[in-house]
Amino acid sequence: MSQTRPTGFPPGMDEVARLTRAGRLAEATGLVQRLLRGEGAAEPAATPATVPDPTLLEGEFVNLDAAPGPQARSDTPDRARPAGKMPGGRSGKGARTGLGETLRGLAARLQPTGLLGGTGAPRPPAEPLPDGASFATASHSGAAGTRAYKLYVPANRGDGLRPLVVMLHGCTQSPDDFSAGTRMNAFAERHGVYVAYPEQPASANAQRCWNWFKPEDQRRGQGEPDLLAGITHRIIHDHPIDPNRVYIAGLSAGGAAAAIMGEAYPDLYAAIGVHSGLPAGAAHDLPSALAAMRQGDGGATGGARAGRAGAGHPVPTIIFHGDRDTVVHPRNGDHVAARATAAAAGLGTEVQHGEAPGRRSYSRTLHTDPSGRTLCEQWAIHGAGHAWAGGSPAGSYTDPQGPDATAEMLRFFLEHRLRTASA
């Protein structure tokens, strides 16, 4: 890959990439270890004639930092659970501390077993379903390929049309893992909501990240957005779904993909949720993705690259981001909010502060239009890192001490209906 290193890209990583592409894994691992000790890179050696597929390396680089972070389950495979510090300085396993963890993760993945294969995404035991509910796998094919998805059909369906929430998992996660960690199915059952969990395969990204940083996966009618919209349309067609109450949300890379879907399909999704993610168009390739994640500087210029299908039609957005997130810089949450409110006029702003007993404190910023409708709701969670707030330890990358993002997100969604052109 011939790419220019962005500001903040660590010195020495170009040489790590070159050694890995050349198949010289032991040397690359040694260099990563030296970089972690602050010793710098040695002089580059000659490149051998045999060079493996560079797309494998690209997948590894992307998902190392894009993988969501603190508080992985105790049974999460070691390749997805590096040791580190928990948010707020507490010691523990599973924390990702940004670029340092990128290097540590790279060192682990440069071993032959880590680079060429692994145990796959964690899949927790299935929880018992309520009588009359189902959680089954289906698939959808389109011009960009095929994606499997799991669909939760609540027992509490009633007789009328029901809402639908599409949930996009983070890197290394699976639909089962994500549903267990967010507990979205249990909340959906209370409200009679269908929930879909599209699955990103390792064939599309080595660590199962949604490819939010690729231009071909940022536009309406192309790539992954086309597949995700196709899944949504299929469920609406096959089940009693209210087309005016369809929503999409995600964590980390899934949150960035949800932001893209909101802008690309404002006529399909009535509201979106972005947890620890990035704004649409924050990056256009791998180096700019790493820079945006580490520095949070991709929001100002991203719009021109991605194109705004929803310009003039703001989609209600709820945002959650830990203010100690070292995997995806918290400034990215601010950029998501700025894009969500850019096309709206006359918004009022109110900041609320709260702290539930035994949970983290937070600041909640409401952007409300003159009619009293909240267009954007942004939660900054104090002391939290890169994990789903208020989630269950039954799933990976959750922070049970946070405010309950699932409950608040579903509450926000059900307050909004799709606004048609006539409305």
pLDDT at 358: 84
Q: How far apart are CA 387 and CA 149, in angstroms?
A: 22
Is 247 a member of any domain? Answer: yes
> Would the pLDDT of 179 be above 70?
yes
Residue 92 and residue 235 in one domain? no
Q: Note whether 173 and 321 are same-domain residues.
A: yes
Q: How far apart are CA 72 and CA 387, in angstroms?
A: 9
Residues 305, 204, single domain; the answer is yes
* 102 & 139 share domain: no
Global pTM? Answer: 0.73
What is the structure's pLDDT at 61?
31
Would you give the distance in Å from CA 104 to the centre of its chain?
21
Q: What pLDDT band is residue 208 in, cutting at 50, 70 and 90?
A: very high
Is residue 81 one of the residues assigned to a domain? Answer: yes
Considering the domain architecture, whether residues 168 and 110 belong to the same structural domain is answered as no
Mean pLDDT of 281-289: 94
- CA-to-CA distance for 24 and 18, rounded, in angstroms? 9
3-state secondary structure 1-62: CCCCCCCCCCCCHHHHHHHHHCCCHHHHHHHHHHHHCCCCCCCCCCCCCCCCCHHHHHHHHH
Instruction: Look at the block and give the residue holding tokens 């929803």.
Output: 310
Burial grade of 118 (CB within 10 A; 0-12, 13-18, 19 or more): middle
Of 116, 142, 169, the residue that ends a domain is 116
Roughly what angle, to the nearest 10 degrees, separates helices 184-191 and 405-414?
40
Number of domains in the chain: 2
Look at residue 234 and give its three-state secondary structure: helix
Q: Is the pLDDT of residue 16 over 90?
A: no
- Report whether pLDDT(252) > 60: yes
The pair phi, psi for residue 395, each rounded to 5°, is -115, 165
Which pLDDT belongs to residue 34?
A: 61
Looking at the DSSP bridge assignments, the partners of residue 208 are none
> Lowest mean pLDDT: which of 4-8, 138-142, 209-213, 233-237?
4-8
Q: Which domain holds residue 169?
A: 134-414
Tell whether 376 and 310 lie within a shared domain.
Answer: yes
Looking at the structure, do residues 160 and 77 belong to the same domain, yes or no? no
Residue range 324-344: mean pLDDT, rounded: 95
More confident position, 68 or 400: 400
Please state, in angstroms and as integers, the Cα–Cα distance from residue 217 to each residue in 15, 127, 257, following that order.
28, 33, 9
Same-domain pairing of 228 and 79:
no
Residue 41 has pLDDT above 60, yes or no: no
90-129, pLDDT tens digit by residue? 333 333 333 334 444 444 443 332 222 223 445 556 678 9
Sign of torsion over alpha carbons 241, 242, 243, 247: negative
Q: How far apart are CA 169 and CA 181, in angstroms?
A: 10
Phi, psi of 375 (to 5 degrees): -85, -35
Indicate the burial class of 191 (C-beta count within 10 angstroms; 0-12, 13-18, 19 or more): middle
Between CA 296 and CA 318, with CA 280 as vertex, the angle to 5 degrees is 85
Task: Compute the average pLDDT of residues 351-371.
Answer: 93
**Which among 123-127, 315-319, 357-361, 367-371 has the top mean pLDDT?**
315-319
Residue 159, domain CATH: 3.40.50.1820
| Same domain flag for 76 and 151 | no
Tokens 């999409």 correspond to: 248
Q: Please state whether 209 falls in left (phi above 0), alpha (psi between -120 and 50) or beta.
A: beta
Q: Do 255 and 275 meet the contact criterion of CB atoms below 8 Å apart?
A: yes
In sequence order, what are the beta bridge partners of 165? 195, 247
